[in-house]
Structure 1
Amino acid sequence: MADTAPCAPLRSPLAHAAPRLAAATRASGGAVRLAELPFLTQVDVRLDAKGAAADAVGPALGLTLPTEPGTVERAGESRALWLGPDEWLLVGPPGGARELETRIRAAAGDEPVSVTDVSAQRTTLLVAGPRARDLLAHGCALDLHPRAFGPGRCAQTDLARTQVVLVSRDGGGAGFWVLVRSSFAGYLADWLLDAATEYV
């Protein structure tokens, strides 16, 4: 007989840290804003960037898969992050992974494509505010100056010795997304809170 017990509600990796992130944001007087954006849809796509699948998948998603290294294409609330010559990470609102996978596979048809829901693999930290770049620079070797890493850029890098995907969001004061593996999220949140004391 099938188990009919209700599933436990989803709990984000940083649910316990939410009050401390909010307190640091308040204490900084708006200099930095820290928050978790839990449960974002994250789908990893691999295909030939010059093949028929790429030509079909982009329009099916309503955006273009970026071909310039380290760039992001946006359509509404969804983003396509360039991770490699044949790899992209699609990020969107929570709960959309299955529908996204279906659309990609239907658009690709018989063309070779790999589509993997990695939504549970990472959580997302928002780091925003006028001092966001300074805060991240404490632990990241990338040149985060807007001329080098402005809106619409992304990179796989290390932040505080933790592997992350860093996304510079577009729009005034939009800040950054830091996509971090769930198992390292608590450590990285603690590091950000400690580094943010300079701005409190």
Structure 2
Amino acid sequence: MHTATVTGPRGVTLTEWPFSTMVNLRVDPASEAADRIEKSLGAPLPRQCGHSTASGCHTVLWLGPDEWLALSRADGSDGTDGTDGVDGTAVAAELRAALGADPGSVVDVSANRATLELSGPAARQVLEKGCPLDLHPRAFGPGHAVSTTVGPVPALLWQVDGAPTYRLFPRSSFADYLARWLIDAMSEYRGPELP
């Protein structure tokens, strides 16, 4: 990935993030259990498709009307410094306690997905080669996260900031293939500058 980096005004970089804490949540968003989970996370559960919320070390991505993915970082940041995530077992246990005996589920899925980050001025153009979403800033901007495909690989796609920086969460077994697909898609940006 490092050798595939393209610099300059058409630059794009692909990196893999270290193991991160990811907890899948299922709960009725109108329930008292959801309120307790939100208090535990310090962030509301997003209520609309594509939305995300964040507070301290937790970011919550919408997956469905009653399903979310909670991402947690050790240092209380959004993870941009590359530190390892907090202990998934502890986060899951805390959220399980917040759920209590109410209907729902809290599952540590940290080993389920890999995390790839694509950033730089040409990042959106690289993704547009194989993603069916409208990624133009008027339709998809910082904080948006949706399940989609990139190339032939299903992945959760989250735009972290307006740089733009995107995090892709494919299943671990597809991560190598997706990374190679992205590296191939990045290769044209190595060419000479167009007038």
TM-score normalised by structure 1 residue count? 0.85
1:97 to 88, 91, 98: 88
Whether 1:194 aligns to 2:173 is: no
Partners in 1 of 2:182 and 2:100 — Cα distance? 44
Give structure 1 stretches of 5+ with no counterpart: 1-20
String of CA shifts for 1:146-191, please: whole Å, max 9, x gaps: 1111001011001101100000113x42510000111111111111
Partners in 1 of 2:146 and 2:66 — Cα distance? 15
Deviates most, 71-80 or 41-50 = 71-80
3-state SS of the aligned residue for 1:155? strand
Task: State the match for 2:39 in structure 1.
Answer: 59
Give structure 2 stretches of 5+ with no counterpart: 74-84, 191-195
Partners in 2 of 1:163 and 1:76 — Cα distance? 29
Q: CA separation of 1:76/1:174 partners in 2, compared to 1, >3 Å: closer, same or farther?
A: farther
Partners in 2 of 1:42 and 1:32 — Cα distance? 26
Task: State the match for 1:28 in structure 2.
Answer: 7
The residue identity in structure 2 corresponding to 1:28 is: T
Whether 1:141 aligns to 2:132 is: yes
Partners in 1 of 2:93 and 2:57 — Cα distance? 18
- Check the 8 A contact 2:121/2:164 in 1, yes or no: no
3-state SS of the aligned residue for 1:122? coil
3-state SS of the aligned residue for 1:169? strand
What is the RMSD of the two structures over their aligned residues, measured on CA atoms? 1.3
State percent identity of aligned pairs.
45
Whether 1:161 aligns to 2:159 is: no
1:183 to 163, 173, 191: 173
| Alpha-carbon distance, 1:77 to partner | 3.4
Task: State the match for 2:76 in structure 1.
Answer: none
Partners in 1 of 2:47 and 2:159 — Cα distance? 17
Whether 1:50 aligns to 2:30 is: yes
Whether 1:85 aligns to 2:65 is: yes
| Alpha-carbon distance, 1:76 to partner | 2.5
Partners in 2 of 1:63 and 1:128 — Cα distance? 26
- Check the 8 A contact 1:61/1:103 in 2, yes or no: no
Partners in 1 of 2:4 and 2:145 — Cα distance? 25
Q: How many aligned residue pairs are there?
A: 178
TM-score normalised by structure 2 residue count? 0.87
Task: State the match for 1:121 in structure 2.
Answer: 112
Q: Segments of 4+ in structure 1 off by > 6 A? A: none
- Check the 8 A contact 1:140/1:158 in 2, yes or no: yes
3-state SS of the aligned residue for 2:115? strand
